[in-house]
Amino acid sequence: MLRKTIYIILGAVLSSLAVRAGGGATNDDLQLNTITTAVPFMAITPDSRAGAMGDAGTALGPYANSVYWNMSILNFAEERSAMSLSYTPWLRQLTNDIHLSYLSGYYKVNDQHVVGGSLRFFSLGEITFTDENANYIREDKPSEFELTGAYAFRTSERTSVGVNAKFVYSNLTGGMVVQGVNTKPGIAGAADISFSYRNPDAKIAGTDGVYTFGATINNVGNKIAYSSAGSSTDDRDFLPMNLKIGNSFKADFDAYNSLLFSLDLQKLLVPTPPIYIVNSSNDVVLASGKTGQVGVISGMLQSFYDAPGRLVEDEVTGEYVQNADGSYQVESGSKFKEELAEINIAFGMEYWYNDLFAVRGGLFYEALSKGARQYFNAGIGFKYNKFNIDISYLAALRRLNPLANTLRFSLGMTLGEPGGSQSRDGKPE
Burial of 327 (0-12, 13-18, 19+ CB in 10 A): exposed
Dist. CA 128–CA 141, nearest whole Å? 9
Dist. CA 273–CA 285, nearest whole Å? 13
Dist. CA 43–CA 413, nearest whole Å? 24
Confidence (pLDDT) at 224: 93
pLDDT for 382-423, tens place per residue?
999 899 999 999 999 888 788 999 999 999 999 876 554 444
Dist. CA 242–CA 254, nearest whole Å? 37
Question: Is the C-alpha dihedral spanning 378, 61, 247, 243 positive or negative?
Answer: negative
Dist. CA 130–CA 24, nearest whole Å? 42
Confidence (pLDDT) at 49: 96
Read off the pTM: 0.86
| Percent helix, percent strand, percent coil in the chain, to nearest 5 | 15, 45, 40
Confidence (pLDDT) at 14: 36
Confidence (pLDDT) at 183: 84
Confidence (pLDDT) at 2: 36
Confidence (pLDDT) at 4: 40
> Among 2.40.160, 1.10.3470, 3.30.200, 2.60.40, what is the CATH number of 46-268+350-366+376-415?
2.40.160
pLDDT for 302-338, tens place per residue?
999 999 999 999 888 888 888 888 889 999 999 999 9
C-alpha 201, offset from chain centre? 29
Of 187, 193, 191, 192, which is closest to residue 223 (Cα–Cα)?
Answer: 187
Three-state secondary-structure class, residue 368 = helix
How would DSSP label each residue in 50-104?
A: HHTTTT--TTSPP-TTHHHH-GGGGGG-SSSEEEEEEEEE--TTT-SS-EEEEEE
Cα dihedral value 415, 419, 425, 429, nearest 10: -40
Dist. CA 157–CA 145, nearest whole Å? 36
Dist. CA 270–CA 252, nearest whole Å? 39
Confidence (pLDDT) at 24: 38
pLDDT for 287-298, tens place per residue?
999 998 999 999
Positions in the chain whose pLDDT score sits under 50: 1-28, 420-429
pLDDT for 130-164, tens place per residue?
777 777 878 888 999 999 999 999 999 999 999 99
One-letter amino acid at 106 equals Y
Three-state secondary-structure class, residue 2 = helix
